[in-house]
Amino acid sequence: MNVRDAFYEVLRAHGIRTIFGNPGSNELPLLSNLPADFQYIHALQEGAAIGMADGYARASGQPALVNLHAAAGTGNAMGNLTNTQAGHVPVIVTSGQQARRYAALGALLTNVDAPTLARPLVKWSNEPLRAEDVPHALSRGILLARSAPAGPVYLSLPLDDWDHDVDAGALAQLEIRAVHGDPVLAEPSLALIRSRLAAASNPVMILGPGTDDAAGWDGAARLAENLALPVYVAPSPSRCPFPTRHPNYRGILPSDIPGVASALDGHDLAMAFGTAIFRYHVFADGDYLPAGTELWTVTSDPDEAARSPVGRALIGNPSDALTRLADTTPSGERAPLAALARPRPLDEPGPAFSAEAIIDALDAAKDESTVIAHEWTSVDTTWDRFDLSRPGSLFFPDAGALGWGLPAAIGLQLGDPSRRVLSVLGDGALHYTVSALWTAAHYRVPVVFVVARNREYAALKNFAQVMQFENVPALDLPDIDITDIAAGYGVPATRATSLTQLTTAVKEALSADGPRLVEVPQQRLST
């Protein structure tokens, strides 16, 4: 058996039969006569390919493979790779090279230490020294990608490796290799949390993307109810880790230092699970915590724990910790919390609508199984107007790199066809990876894309106001026909001119058997 056939055998052993990519000349030896049990999902640009693989891994719960073309293709993908890394998503990136000389590229990805990135872009990179080592490198990469804390890995694979023979005995051992185990908090560490919660007079819970799973939702809800804990979502959230209509839910924390401190004022203990401490988005000086507030956090990522500027961190699976705490913590003496008053759905005449009204209209169109791929950055802190009652119901780019939402929605839909995906996009974000619309049309992936059209970079205009900058160029996006662009890629598209029409159009699209796009006019920040 040659290296190419062994490559596919290793993928089969791990249940990977879908490859995302945008092929180039170096990939032809691998893709020629693709085995019949594999599916190749063609993206027209590498950033879109990474986004699709990322979404697929999140929805399926299994590692995803994306094949890129050489150094240039890897470069095109790096923006979205920051989201994959920050989201702890198990994606295996393979890159075809003309010769055994590009290991330095993988080393760059694993040794990035710029302040803006804070950590490497991949967990591990490798270029096998011998062609015969390719199957072992792939096996190692898959196992590393899915091990806690999960994350992407990178393999540089020279194009002349594929025809070399491999050792059949070594391959047979690779096919049965496995790594089991998920590091969890030791009982003494859990006892510390239990004791601290019991001693607190006014504790509060903070949840992040690391608890957005069935165990995390159940454990968090039971613990919050047992101890009458108000529950916040950590700043700059990339997922929804708690039901937005639960009586204990208190909203999303502000994404600035003094805003978080103000929200936590009066609480002597903040217990955080599954989140970095904290992902601030707007710079403002101030104290990280109010006087008298102690912060503890449980995270599966030691690097995340070490770089936190405040608090005491414990390393282990945060959802497991929540489950065990809920199982062993008796109900407290505090009275149950009353639910916050929910805002009434807005009904506006138009011709353009507020972000809140648009969300309300979309909420009326979806059901509890709908998954929202959210890249509408000017409203990133108001998505909790959606009624979200199941884990894995909302995803936002973890590192804030635009161009993720559209292709990730396609991957999310392919990764779990049982749940329909609603992709909510700003008209600026759409264009970063707009070519992914072709992939949705070509493979008939039934994602519903809703584009809020405000003809501006509203998020940047918000920043300009906060930072008191005036007359900034390039913040307007006039004269772009989004429905025509979608139609050109093969996606049927329509414009909604009323909120009722928006709800009806999205409901119909969610029951269609292919992709649809709906454009809706959004009120501009300024005229």
Q: Which of 69, 88, 136, 246 is catalytic?
A: 69
**Is there a domain that residue 348 lies in?**
no
Q: CA-CA distance, 512 to 23, in Å (whole number)? A: 30
CA distance 350 to 194: 52
CB atoms within 10 A of CB 526: 10
Residue 298 sits in the same domain as residue 361: no
**Distance between the two ends of the chain, CA-based, in angstroms?**
66
Instruction: Say how many domains are in the chain.
Output: 3
Residue 340 in any domain: the answer is no
Instruction: Flag whether 383 is in a domain.
Output: yes
Q: Respond yes or no: is residue 88 known to be catalytic.
A: no
In this structure, the answer to whether residues 7 and 56 fall within a common structural domain is: yes
Active-site option among 9, 21, 27, 141: 27
Which of 83-97, 162-176, 196-210, 474-488 has the least mean pLDDT? 474-488
pLDDT at residue 116 is higher than 60: no
One domain, residues 56 and 203: no
| Residue 345 within any structural domain of the chain | no
Q: CATH number, domain at 123? A: 3.40.50.970
Q: How confident is the model at residue 26 (pLDDT cuts 50, 70, 90)?
A: confident
491-517 pLDDT, tens digit each: 999 999 999 999 999 999 999 999 999
Say whether both 58 and 15 belong to one domain. Answer: yes
Over residues 433-451, the pLDDT tens digits come to 999 999 999 999 999 999 9
Cβ–Cβ under 8 Å, residues 236 and 389:
no
437 shares a domain with 308: no
Same domain assignment for residues 55 and 194: no
Residue 485 CB contacts under 8 Å (≥ 6 apart), including other chains:
434, 437
pTM: 0.94
pLDDT band for position 117 (cuts 50, 70, 90): very low
Whether 490 is catalytic = no
Query: Is 27 a catalytic site residue?
Result: yes
Mean pLDDT, rounded, of the chain: 91
Q: Per-residue pLDDT for 79 more than 50? A: yes
Order of strands, sheet of 91-97, starting from the edge strand that comes earlier in the sequence: 39-42, 18-21, 64-69, 91-97, 153-158, 124-126
pLDDT over 90 for what percent of the chain?
75
Tokens 């872009």: give the residue: 121
Q: Tell me: the pLDDT tens digits for 45-63?
A: 999 999 999 999 999 999 9
Catalytic hit among 400, 405, 426, 428: 400
pLDDT over 60 at 114, yes or no: no
Q: CB–CB of 296/274 below 8 Å?
A: no
Residues 159 and 234 grouped into a single domain: no
Write down which residue in 174, 208, 239 finishes a domain.
174
Contact 90, 120 (CB under 8 A): no
Range with lowest mean pLDDT among 154-163, 248-257, 407-416, 497-506: 154-163
| Residue from 60, 164, 225, 281 carrying the catalytic annotation | 281
Read off the CATH number of the domain in which 294 is found. 3.40.50.1220
Residue that terminates a domain, selected from 174, 206, 233? 174
Same domain, yes or no: 90 and 198: no
Residues 57 and 150 in one domain: yes
* Residue 470: active-site member: no
As to burial, measured by CB atoms within 10 angstroms (0-12 exposed, 13-18 middle, 19+ buried), residue 419 is middle
Q: What is the DSSP letter of 432?
A: G
What residue numbers bound the domain in which 199 lies? 187-328
Active-site residue, 69 included: yes
pLDDT digit string, tens, across residues 279-337: 888 778 899 999 999 999 999 999 999 989 999 999 999 999 999 999 999 888 899 99
In this model, does residue 119 exceed pLDDT 50?
yes
Is 257 in a helix, a strand, or coil?
A: helix
Judge if 215 and 118 occupy the same domain.
Answer: no
Exposed/middle/buried for 114, CB within 10 Å: 0-12, 13-18, 19+? Answer: exposed
Domain annotation covers residue 338: no
Measured CA to CA, the distance from residue 525 to residue 461 in angstroms comes to 7
Residue 422 clears pLDDT 70, i.e. is over it: yes
334 occurs within a structural domain: no
205 backbone dihedrals φ, ψ, rounded to 5°: -110, 140
262/301 same-domain check: yes
Strands (E), 326-386: 371-375
Same domain assignment for residues 26 and 168:
yes
